Structure 1
Amino acid sequence: MWRSIENLWRTVARLDLRARLRKHLAFRAFRARCHQSTPLQVVIGAGSTEFSGWVSTDLESLDVTLPQSWKRLFRTDSIDRLLAEHIYEHLDEAECRKSFRECFRYLKPGGLLRIAVPDGHRRDSAYVAEVSPPKDGHKMLFTVESLRSLLEEAGFQVTPLEYFDASEQFHHSAWDPADGMIRRSLPFDTQEAFRIGPLHYTSLIMDARKPNRSRPCAE
C-alpha cells in the first residue's frame, strides 16, 4: 500500500514538473516574440482578443500594476503602442497610477497608449446601470477630467478622442484604428440596448503619448 502511495506521489511530482517546464518554455517563447516584434504593439488585458500585428497579453502574462511583471517581458523604452480597452475601470486609483507609470517607462519616446474606459459623464440610465461600480468588478468610473489628470501626472501628453463633458455633450475626433482598435466606440459599436440618437455604447477614449524628450519616470 505504502509503495503504491509513494509511486503515486512520484507520478504527480513528474507531471507537476512537466507542467511547470511547459509553462516556463511558453513564457520564454512569448518574451522572445515581444523582443522580436517590430513595431512592438501590445494589447493589455486582451483575453482572447487578437489583432494582426499586435501582441496580446492577459493577467497571467502581464500584471500591469507590478513593475517586475513589465520588467520580465519588456525592455525600457521599447514599446511603440499600448492598447487598453475597458481594463482600467477594474483597478483602483492607486493601481492605475502604478500602471500608468509603467506604461510610460516602457513606451518608446513618442510612443502611444490608447485607452478606453466607461464614461462617467454619460448619464442615460441603461449605460449607468451597466458601468457603475461594483458592476462586473468595476472599481473606478472615470471622467475626461479624472483620466486626463492621472495620465498627465504620469508624464503623458493627452488627447481626448471620444468623451462626454460635464454638461453631457458628446465630443469626438477622428482617430485611426491602426493605432489601436476600440470596438466600444462611435464608429464601431452597434449595441441597440445603449442607443441614444446616433450613439450606441460609447467609451471615454484618450490617446496618451510619451513625449520625445521625456522626464525620467517616477518610482
Structure 2
Amino acid sequence: MVLQEKEIKVVLGAGEYNNNPGWIHTQEDQLNLLDHSTWENSYNENSLSAILAEHVWEHLTYEEGIAAAKLCYMYLKTNGYIRCAVPDGFFRDDEYQNIIKIGGPGPKNHPAASHKIVHNYKTLSRMFESAGFEVNILEYCDINGIFHCKDWDGSQGVIFRSKKYDPRNQGERMVFPSLIVDAIKR
C-alpha cells in the first residue's frame, strides 16, 4: 500500500477571515515573509503544496517581494504554487487608486497605510519570475484598464477580493478587483 503524503496548504496574513477551510491560517508573527527562521521552525523545505497570500505582497517593497518569493520557493514542493492577490495598479478608478496608494489614504491604522508598492500584472509577474516561478495570471486589468479573468478553481485557494467571490464585483461594474496570479514552482 502506498501512503498518500499529506498536502500542507498555508494562508499568509489570514486576518480574521477563514475563506479556506482545511488550510493553515497564519499571521505575520507566525510566518514572516522576511524572516527565514519563522519558516524553518514550522516547515521543512519542499514540503508545502500551496501558499495563499491575499493582499499581503503590497506591504513589501519590490526587492522584499523577490526575497519573500524566493523564501516561499524553498518551502514549496515541485508543482506547488503561491496564489497571490494584490490591489491592481491598472484598475481605472480614482477612489480605488486613492485607497490602495503607497502609504494609504488616511490614518496610520488604515490597512493601506503600510503599502509599499502598487503592482500591475507586469511588475507582479516579473517579481515572481525573477524568483524562479512560472506565472499564470488569473484576474487583472491591462494597461488600458480593461479587466480580464480566466476561469480559476476556488478549491485551490479562495481569494475573497475577486470577481468570482466578492459581492461588490458581481454584475457589470467592478468595484474592488484584485490582480491575482498563481506562481508555480516547476
User: Counterparts in 2 of 1:68-83, with a 5 A limit?
Assistant: 68-83=37-52
User: Secondary structure of the residue that 2:10 maps to in structure 1?
Assistant: strand
Per-residue Cα deviation, 1:65-119 (whole angstroms, up to 9, x for no partner): 1112211111010000100000011111221111100111100001011000000
* 8 Å Cα contact 1:120/1:142 also seen in 2: yes
Unaligned runs of 5+ residues in structure 1 are 1-36, 212-219
> RCO greater where, 1 or 2, for CA within 8 Å and sep 6 or more?
2
Per-residue Cα deviation, 1:174-212 (whole angstroms, up to 9, x for no partner): 0001111000000111238xx89332310000011100x
Equivalent in the alignment of 1:38: 6
TM-score (norm 2): 0.88
Work out the CA distance in 1 between the residues paired with 2:171 and 2:130: 34
Instruction: Tell me which amino acid in the other structure corresponds to 2:63.
Output: A
Seq. identity, %: 35
Unaligned runs of 5+ residues in structure 2 are 105-111
* 8 Å Cα contact 1:77/1:105 also seen in 2: yes
Deviation at 1:62, TM superposition (A): 1.0
Equivalent in the alignment of 1:177: 154
Compare CA radii of gyration and give the structure with the larger one.
1
Structure with higher helix content: 1
Equivalent in the alignment of 1:188: 165
TM-score (norm 1): 0.75
Aligned pair count reads 173
* 8 Å Cα contact 2:53/2:83 also seen in 1: yes
Structure with higher strand content: 2
- Runs of 4 or more consecutive aligned structure 1 residues displaced over 4 Å after TM superposition: none
* 8 Å Cα contact 1:41/1:80 also seen in 2: yes
Work out the CA distance in 1 between the residues paired with 2:144 and 2:38: 40
In the alignment, structure 1 residue 104 sits paired with structure 2 residue 57: no
* 8 Å Cα contact 1:131/1:141 also seen in 2: yes
